[in-house]
Structure 1
């Protein structure tokens, strides 16, 4: 299956939009998991898109940008990895390691180029401010978004338009002559989310909230074990008893996430009310004090 022209067009438009959403629109669609969802919908394989997008989301959990610094573009990497994975039948884990992560890293250079190009419109805005040209300010402000959008849209378009044969030849080599390397990339792609978790735990106050971390791990392990055993029992009963057609599903991650949210909200309420209680206690102590001018 090749990538059709209309799929290239839609993926290019999304690649140009997602950076603008991250900078000024803030709809939440500028996340790797949503990039995988959108790319999966366009390519006709949502499952593959979510696998790649979710894995890239976990990979960059602890990666941030501060002070205008550039970071890897996991969204563009997810779009290209999903497109090639579905288009040429590449394994999702292999696409993550061989396409998504390298492309995300290379896109740092395009991010820097977009920032430098944007300074041209910033200086034009400065001159329009001195001229009190409000229309010119608005026009150059909107034009400034163009450099950001093109910094993502152009590479994605070129890769999808001219990189298909190149990527296809790489996949054939990885699956035949260098199968050991392809298998290694698949393992590396599956391990990358754990690296993202490790980076995130490195910056989170884990020592301060260690009880919640342990509790979350134990709850997840217990519920996963219980529901796995129930599903196994149901599958066994289906094969033994005639007419037993009930199906059992595993514990949804949403339920586990809601337990974590409840604990986090409780901790937030406790920490936010503590300063108020301290101020209230201090005011009560001040009421009984006598100043020098009151004697």
Structure 2
């Protein structure tokens, strides 16, 4: 790994947390991290694969009230860097052995960054309590708060990239040698992690209330995927038999799936009664009968009123 790659990845790690806190350019997400890290390491497909896998893994994980959560973005940066630079480490193995553990460990550094910022908060309180407020000093201390946040990501990424390559190479050699059974297990675990993310997400979405949309979306996606896969296989066979056959059958783009989901969401939104008074005209008896069953069936789900 070249020195400039370590430098760029360290700078990105220090900036992505500030992006997440204030800028919101979406480059702070695991997919964005996979894009940036893949470009820096010269292997964009691997970066996007790891970033997308980590994005799916944390689909149902959120943070409320300033709580810390696993840092899948930093995990993606390190997993992409090591997967592309370490011989014998597959992206799936990098996800399960590097990205996920790093994302979990970063919780502690996130708490440390929050704790360190209390120093600047107290300084600001002290400046405000003075008879003559120094507004420039207040502004400076507000900006100083970005330093602990950036260091909480940049320092561990730099240490891992600069001094951890040898250790990771030894681990990769062991996973491909005497511990091949463990390496195969980590590969399978890395491939199944996105399914875990979907499970967590479905646990907190009102799926039971909108099961029809879930079934419809799954069915349409499956049918289209099989149809387009069959067309691609047919085109490959025809091109092999007839050299003059130049038509190319592309696979189903994810944009088409997203547009179908958007259409269903628009239909559902239009069917929601705008006048809440209409919903309140229901009889008290029906509300009481449905209250007990809905409380049991929808336990754990986040409804519109709770957002």
TM-score by length of 1: 0.91
Give the whole-Å Cα distance in 2 for the aligned partners of 1:41 and 1:139: 34
Aligned counterparts, 1:23-34, within 5 A = 23-34=21-32
1:29-83 deviation digits (Å, cap 9, x = unpaired): 1100110000000000000000000000000000111122111000000000000
Q: Which residue is equivalent to 1:46? A: 44
Q: State the match for 1:16 in structure 2.
A: 14
Matches within 5 A, 1:49-198: 49-89=47-87, 90-131=89-130, 132-198=133-199
Shift of 1:276: 6.3
Aligned-partner Cα distance in 2 for 1:269–1:122: 46
Measured in 2, the distance between the counterparts of 1:219 and 1:264 equals 15
For residues 244-285 of structure 1, the C-alpha deviation after alignment (integer angstroms, 9 at most, x for no partner) is 1222111001111111011112212332x5326839x9xxxx
SS for the counterpart of 1:274 is coil
Paired with 1:198 and 1:139, the residues of 2 have a C-alpha distance of 44
Please give the TM-score of this superposition, normalised by the length of structure 2. Answer: 0.88
Give me the whole-angstrom Cα distance separating, in 1, the residues matched to 2:270 and 2:112: 44
Shifted more, 19-28 versus 75-84: the winner is 19-28
Where does residue 258 of structure 1 map in the other structure? 259
Larger radius of gyration: 1
Segment of structure 1 superposing worse, 165-174 or 127-136 = 127-136
CA deviation map 1:211-240 (0-9, x unaligned): 100010011001001101100110110111
Q: Cα distance, 1:178 vs. partner?
A: 0.6
Q: Any idea what the Cα deviations from partners look like across 1:116-142, whole Å, max 9, x if unmatched?
A: 001111111111222311101110000
Q: Distance in 2 between matches of 1:180 and 1:115?
A: 40
- The corresponding residue for 1:225 is 226
* 1:275 equivalent in alignment to 2:275: yes
Partner of 1:236: 237
Partner of 1:35, secondary structure, is helix
C-alpha distance after superposition, 1:155-191 (max 9, x if no partner): 0000000000000000000001111100110000000
Distance 1:50 1:161, change over 3 A: same
Match of 2:304 in 1: none
Question: Which residue of the partner structure matches residue 288 of structure 1?
Answer: none
Distance 2:19 2:266 in 1: 28
Distance, in Å, in 2 between the alignment partners of 1:136 and 1:26 is 26
- 1: distance between equivalents of 2:275 and 2:193? 40
